[in-house]
Amino acid sequence: MPRFLKEFFNRNGTGMGLAILGLVLFWTIGLIILPQLSMLDFSFRPNLPPPEIGGPKDVYTLENYKYLIYGPEGGSQDYNAVDLRVFFRTLLAAVCVTIFNLIICYPIAYYLGQSKGSHIRIFAIMLIIPYWINEILRAFALRIIFGETGVLNTLFMGLGIWDTPFDFIRNDIALYAGLGYAYILLMIFPIYNVIESLDGNQIEAARDLGAPWWRIHWRVVIPYAKPGISSGCTMVFMLSAGALAAPQILGGPSSLWFTQLIYQQFNDNNDWPQGAAYAIVLLVTCILFVLAMMRLFKVNMGDIGK
Amino acid sequence: MNNSFLRLSIWAYLVIFFLYLLGPLVIMSVTAFNSSAFPRMTPWECLTFQWFGELFQDQRILNGIKNSLIIGAGTVVLSVAMGLAGALMLTQIWPKLRATYYTVIIAPILIPGVVLGISTLVFWDRINRMLGLGADSVLSNGIFLTVIGQSTFIASYCMLVLVARLQRYDIALTEAALDLGASHAQAFRKILLPFMRPAIASAAVLAFLASFENYNTTTFTFGEYPTLTIELAQKVRYGITPSISALAFIIVAMTVFFALLNEAKLKRQELVAAARKNATVEELAGKIKLPSFFSGNMAAVLVVVFAVATITLIGTATAYNPAQCIADVREQKQLEAQQRIEELRKQREEQRKQREEERKQRFEGVFEPGDLQPGATEEGAEPDSGTNNSGFGNVFDPNALGGDDDEGASDTETQPSNNGGFGGAFDPHSLQSDQ
């Protein structure tokens, strides 16, 4: 037995140690690592009916990944233009949603983090309440607002700004508003946590030395808040790229989200390996993208999630 | 002046921000009370409570709530247990492994829920097959899979909450207990658990809420046991009714109530502590004058106001009958519809008259001498956007017989909106080659 294991059991007692170790192993290996590996393995296999699984036809193949790039075999196009376009559009839209969220949340987080008083607690409650409401209901609320006879159209038509209803849903405005809305809290809290610990004297010193407000933010606050900003951005990006409910409810009829394609592969086409391959592509691309961004902005992995 | 302007703009920004955040919830809640069959706030028809009645009769929703509660309970137990074990492990693990371990247990928060759902489904399906169990075994049961799938990432949330408090724990307390002869299990149960209780409570609440509202993972794993969220999603995707708004209103009201209640309790504890600090010894010993629950406690006042409002609302709901109003609205709608029909009829009549007049004029025009001259200018020849509702297009247009003449062409041009089914197909000009 390695020494640290022995120490571990000495410290916690055999029974407790076994319980802790068992739960941790079940969680990390049984729930996190093995299912992901299993999905990876599955994505390299052909789609077979259950009796043939494990049979001679059950060999490794790149078929599912080829499908994403080249489309069905013998198809009319050289590339699977539909799915690829959906894939890149999803990534691009997720980036846009992240930037939009960062822009609207940073001032709020700064304000909450730097001002004192009892009203801050009220603001915090007002921030958290929407987050406790069901994701589906939040999307539903936005659909009521953005609908053809919704509040916004009625309002603007009443004011005479436009005279035929504007289709927010077909133009994807509802979708972006919904995605931004869903993850506001995940952007505010990490930034708020960091800014709250920033010593107000630093800001005052910068001000005394004659820095205008934007330079104070650029040179003092933002560098200090970088870990918070990066973990907020990472979470919002990953979650909006992987969102399913908002695109299903708020997305236009002609615009798909990549997760919807995965969902279709699983539920409509009943092609699990294909769906697994798509899921792997999404996961790996998102992780690589986040790592690249972290390298670009010089952030450490350890800062995320704090 | 600059300062006050800045302050003003900050407040304006805050107002806009919270409108974006809370406005949709308020609007959604309000639509629950409008009698319009499509959830909307304007036009306001009648105050009604019928959607609540409809909600409570919806078997699928009730069944969904039941499944959600079962799955929520399972997820809370499993993820709090795993989260606590994970947090304890994090404080004790071999330093070299620490970073890797941390990455592994924090990763499920960042992995898209869809991917977690799929991997859970695929993995347990495979285990099930390896063990040679059938399709109806425990391992492919919707409740089991959902609890497992959700716990994968909810345990990470719990771990983060628990580890924050665990870091403030003094390990010497456990050591003292062990020195005094307690067993490890006893030390855990009597020393560590009571210390961790507040964090465990908040982790449990967090886990339950996360489980209750999860959609992305559950949508792949639920099997035969759809949760409330799944049922809601299906309802919202295939036609929306105000009974969903009614459910939303109940959830919003409950959330606000519990948030305020919690806040009031915290505030009260604070006030009590402050009073204790300021109180003289005799006050503490004799007549303790604790601040009443309400003084200086906005949240508590709000809780009571809120509760009273709810009771009033339910009271009115049972007594109020909007049948009269609904009938009125229906009548009015019918009136409006009739009016519209009337208007349409009039419009048609007028159009018909106009056409007849035009036709007359045209026939008059035919006999004008200029008509017979070959004009051959094609400007007006495009098949007119004119109002010719007759299916014959311009077949009977006298111009058709008269060759191209300027006057006739300009005549067709001025005709508003041709909706004829044949468009300009029968327009004689279309057969002529361009000149």
3-state secondary structure of B34: strand
Whether A149 contacts chain B with CB within 8 A: yes
pLDDT at B30 over 50: yes
Q: Which of A229, A237, A240 is nearest to A303 (CA)?
A: A229
- Mean pLDDT, chain A, whole residue set: 81
Q: In the predicted model, what is the mean pLDDT of residues B411-433? A: 43
Instruction: Name which CATH class applies to B59-240.
Output: mainly alpha
Q: Where are the domains of chain B?
A: 59-240, 242-321, 330-431
Whether B19 contacts chain A with CB within 8 A: no
Q: What separation in angstroms does the CA of A97 have from each of A173, A266, A299, B76?
A: 11, 27, 21, 31
Provide the pLDDT for residue B170.
Answer: 84
Select the residue of B122, B255, B256 nearest A272 (Cβ to Cβ): B122
> Which pLDDT band, with edges at 50, 70 and 90, does B11 fall under?
confident
The CA angle A216-A222-A227, to the nearest 5 degrees, is 155
Weakest mean pLDDT among A154-158, B195-199, B296-300, B353-357: B296-300
The CA angle A193-A194-A197, to the nearest 5 degrees, is 95
Beta bridge partners of B47: B34
The CA angle A289-A293-A294, to the nearest 5 degrees, is 115
Provide the pLDDT for residue B385.
Answer: 43
- Dist CA B263 CA B303 (whole Å): 9
Interval B265-286: pLDDT, tens: 887 787 777 777 776 555 555 5
Provide the pLDDT for residue B362.
Answer: 65
Q: What is the DSSP letter of B190?
A: I
Provide the pLDDT for residue A124.
Answer: 81
Provide the pLDDT for residue B79.
Answer: 92
Cβ-contact A124, B299 below 8 angstroms: no
**Which value, to the nearest 10 degrees, does the dihedral of the CA atoms of residues A162, A164, A167, A168 take?**
20
- Dist CA A245 CA A236 (whole Å): 15
Provide the pLDDT for residue B154.
Answer: 92
Domains located in chain A, CATH noted: 63-303 (1.10.3720.10)
pLDDT at B399 over 60: no
- Mean pLDDT, chain B, whole residue set: 75
pLDDT at B27 over 90: no
Provide the pLDDT for residue B285.
Answer: 54
Provide the pLDDT for residue B76.
Answer: 94
pLDDT at B401 over 80: no
pLDDT at B169 over 80: yes
3-state secondary structure of B47: strand
- State the burial class of residue B4 (Cβ atoms within 10 Å of its Cβ: 0-12, 13-18, 19+): exposed
* Inter-chain residue contact A125 with B126, CB threshold 8 Å: no
pLDDT at B171 over 60: yes
* Inter-chain residue contact A132 with B183, CB threshold 8 Å: no
> Which pLDDT band, with edges at 50, 70 and 90, does B84 fall under?
very high
* Inter-chain residue contact A133 with B248, CB threshold 8 Å: yes
Residue that is written with structure tokens 């009892």 in the block: A118
- Give percent above pLDDT 70 in chain B: 73
Provide the pLDDT for residue B43.
Answer: 67
- Dist CA B221 CA A43 (whole Å): 18
For residue A281, give the amino acid letter: V
Whether A165 contacts chain B with CB within 8 A: no
- Dist CA A14 CA A31 (whole Å): 24
pTM for this one? 0.75
Q: In the predicted model, what is the mean pLDDT of residues B146-162? A: 91
Q: What residues of B are in contact with residue A24 (Cβ under 8 Å)?
A: 82, 85-86, 89
Provide the pLDDT for residue B292.
Answer: 56
Residue ranges of chain A with per-residue pLDDT less than 50? 306
